[in-house]
């Protein structure tokens, strides 16, 4: 089965539209056949009253100028409502996008100094994109970042969220053990599999570290990455990856989660580091601005951002890959390649339109 054809829409957009239509229908269904040519749809002649003049033979309807319309001008099939909705999501995201270099405010907490070569999507449009990919974003979503232009290997995006957790003490970073943290992450992921079953999302297992947790006490930045796979998938070959970066602030933290193919992580992880370095908390919201007499402390420490708290989110972004993988044979593409929604999504759009410059 091939992807649905929507004139003027890039292939990747049509692919996701096809996914949304399949999902909305509750399963795989046959493609709608295009309307037959006009000449093949001539209605049977209706009985004519005896006293009335004979009706003219069937033929092309006259135009406003009295000229017959071309016989080969077939009526376009009606667009499926789910398809139309998905197309509207992409168009809205494109119109609202911001091109770097540009300072992007992240609520009243921080500023993202968006570098050249990146494209930012605001929270409302980002939430609709994530829903289209099978995710259920929360109110803490602050936006998505994509590559600005299409180029080889541009198959990634970054999810930005802010968690109003309270001030997170980082004392435990001096004593934590990577093996213990990995064990906690695996246990937390297994505990979250019950929620995944309820959501109809494949259960996950954590295989190991791709990059063990590293915390920079001077900048209050945390980075870690683990490889994952579907629990039902055979063997121990990693199928997914979450590359997680965090910036701690006075009242909570900003997370930037890089979503990419497992095989691309070595090439793509500098992107996450570049964006993390481009993030700056506003005056009065920085980690050092914490006031112990007035500010609320988080109920957990830094290690929880690698263990229990992280386990809840570990599979949610992987839903995008799982959602597409489920229909990969149907829609005619490899699921992980479909994650290159950044440049392909906005291919052909003029930089001068809606870039916020």
Total H helices, total E strands in the chain: 9, 11
User: CA angle 277-140-248, nearest 5°?
Assistant: 35
Per-residue pLDDT at 213? 93
3-state secondary structure 256-292: EEEECCHHHHHHHHHHHHHHHHCEEECCCCEHHHCCC
Measure the CA–CA gap between 31 and 2, rounded to whole angstroms.
Answer: 9
Identify the CA nearest to 309 among candidates 175, 188, 226.
188
For the stretch 132-149, what's the b/e string if a residue is b when 16 or more beta carbons lie within 10 angstroms of its beta carbon?
Answer: bbbbebeebbbbbbbbbe
Per-residue pLDDT at 99? 95
Residues ≥6 apart with Cβ < 8 Å to 88 = none
pTM exceeds 0.75, yes or no: no
Per-residue pLDDT at 347? 44
Q: Across the chain, which distance is largest between two alpha carbons, in Å?
A: 101
Q: Which domains does the chain have, with CATH numbers?
A: 82-346 (3.40.1000.10)
Residues ≥6 apart with Cβ < 8 Å to 314 = 185, 189, 192, 204, 206, 226, 228, 242
Per-residue pLDDT at 132? 82
For the chain, percent helix, then strand, then coil, each to nearest 5?
35, 20, 45
**Residue 150, Cβ neighbours under 10 Å: how many?**
16
Per-residue pLDDT at 258? 92
Block mean pLDDT (10 aa), the chain, length 357: 34 36 32 38 43 50 52 63 82 93 97 97 94 82 91 82 96 87 87 79 85 94 90 77 93 93 89 97 98 95 79 52 39 33 43 42
Cross-strand bridge partners of residue 20 = none
Per-residue pLDDT at 214? 94
Residues ≥6 apart with Cβ < 8 Å to 253 = 162, 163, 165, 168, 246, 247, 305
For the stretch 264-295, what's the b/e string if a residue is b when 16 or more beta carbons lie within 10 angstroms of its beta carbon?
Answer: bbeebbebbeebbebbebbeebbbeebeeeee
Q: Are 173 and 217 in contact (CB under 8 A)?
A: yes
Per-residue pLDDT at 307? 73
Q: Are 146 and 341 in contact (CB under 8 A)?
A: yes
Per-residue pLDDT at 268? 92
Per-residue pLDDT at 340? 41
């Amino acid at each position: 089965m091939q992807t649905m054809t929507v004139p003027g829409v890039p292939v990747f957009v049509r692919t996701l539209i096809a996914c949304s239509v399949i999902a909305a229908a509750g399963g795989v269904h046959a493609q709608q056949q295009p309307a037959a040519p006009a000449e093949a749809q001539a209605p049977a002649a209706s009985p004519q009253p005896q006293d009335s003049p004979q009706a003219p033979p069937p033929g092309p309807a006259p135009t406003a100028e009295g000229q017959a319309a071309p016989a080969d001008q077939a009526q376009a099939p009606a667009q499926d409502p789910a398809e139309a909705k998905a197309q509207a999501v992409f168009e809205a995201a494109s119109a609202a996008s911001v091109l770097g270099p540009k300072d992007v405010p992240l609520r009243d907490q921080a500023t993202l100094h968006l570098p050249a070569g990146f494209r930012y999507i605001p929270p409302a449009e980002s939430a609709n994109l994530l829903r289209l990919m099978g995710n259920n974003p929360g109110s803490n979503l602050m936006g998505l970042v994509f590559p600005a232009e299409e180029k080889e290997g541009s198959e990634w995006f970054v999810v930005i969220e802010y968690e109003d957790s309270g001030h997170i003490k980082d004392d435990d970073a001096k004593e934590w053990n990577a093996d213990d943290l990995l064990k906690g992450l695996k246990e937390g992921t297994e505990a979250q599999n019950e929620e995944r079953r309820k959501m109809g999302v494949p259960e996950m297992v954590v295989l190991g570290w791709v990059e063990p947790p590293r915390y920079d006490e001077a900048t209050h930045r945390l980075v870690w990455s683990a490889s994952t796979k579907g629990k039902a998938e055979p063997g121990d070959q990693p199928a997914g990856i979450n590359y997680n970066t965090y910036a701690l602030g006075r009242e909570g933290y900003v997370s930037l989660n890089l979503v990419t193919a497992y095989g691309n992580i070595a090439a793509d992880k500098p992107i996450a580091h570049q964006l993390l370095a481009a993030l700056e908390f506003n005056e009065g919201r920085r980690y050092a601005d914490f006031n112990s007499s007035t500010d609320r402390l988080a109920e957990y420490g830094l290690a929880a951002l690698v263990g229990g708290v992280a386990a809840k989110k570990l599979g949610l972004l992987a839903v995008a890959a799982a959602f597409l993988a489920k229909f990969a044979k149907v829609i005619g593409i490899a699921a992980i390649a479909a994650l290159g929604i950044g440049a392909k999504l906005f291919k052909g759009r003029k930089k001068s339109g809606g870039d916020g410059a």
